[in-house]
Amino acid sequence: MESLTSKIIAGFILVFIILQFFGPDTSSPAADPSKDFIVNSQPPEQVTSILKSACYDCHSYQTNYPWYSNIEPVSWWLQDHIEHGRDEFNMSLWSDYSSNRADHKLEEAIELVEEEEMPLPSYTWVHGDARLTPEQRDLLTEWFSSLRTKISDNSEEN
């Protein structure tokens, strides 16, 4: 029995080592800085800080990969979250969004931040600076709401 257990453990270790050679592509596409959410919306400094620490890693092409992103299979799980986040709301492509789509993305962002679904709890476990206080949540949602108003006003003028 002890021999079988040793073989199983050795097998798991071997598979783990082999997996390290097959990580996902973590390169980001070249991004046009003029399309960026912060560049286009010009939030106050405090909001910019929140966006950079709590949103940009998963919702832009400016991802800062942590050390554990080099460990398989964690990197696949992490990359899947990032790709999904970019698909839902990519702050690096903000100016490509129509007024209606931008308004909808902001509406969703407000809801997810208010309901404490964003940033993801699994992200904040290891990124303490991304944990939002109630005051930061209020600030972010109020600013998103004001941006929605600006977008609405601008689309009515055109």
Where exactly are the structural domains of the chain? 2-157
Write down the pLDDT at residue 24.
64
Return the amino acid letter for 44. P
Q: In this model, does residue 100 exceed pLDDT 90? A: yes
Q: Which is nearest to 91 in space by CA: 154, 32, 27?
A: 32
* From 2-16, 56-70, 83-97, the region with the lowest mean pLDDT: 2-16
Instruction: Write out the two tokens for 8.
Output: 């199983």
CA distances to 26, 61, 93, 104, 115 from 29, in Å: 10, 7, 11, 24, 31
Average pLDDT, the chain: 88
- Who wins on pLDDT, 84 or 66? 84
pLDDT (tens digit per residue) in 57-83: 899 999 888 777 778 887 777 888 889
36: left (phi over 0), alpha (psi -120 to 50) or beta: beta
Which residues have a Cβ under 8 Å from the Cβ of 48 and sit 6 or more positions away? 38
Amino acid at 82: I
Query: What is the per-residue pLDDT for 157?
Result: 66
| Alpha-carbon torsion angle 151, 149, 136, 39, nearest 10 | 20
DSSP per-residue codes, 120-143: -HHHHTT-GGGPPPHHHHHHHHHH
Per-residue confidence band for 103, with pLDDT thresholds at 50, 70 and 90 = very high
Q: Which residue has the higher pLDDT, 22 or 56?
A: 56
**Is pLDDT at 22 greater than 80 in this prediction?**
no
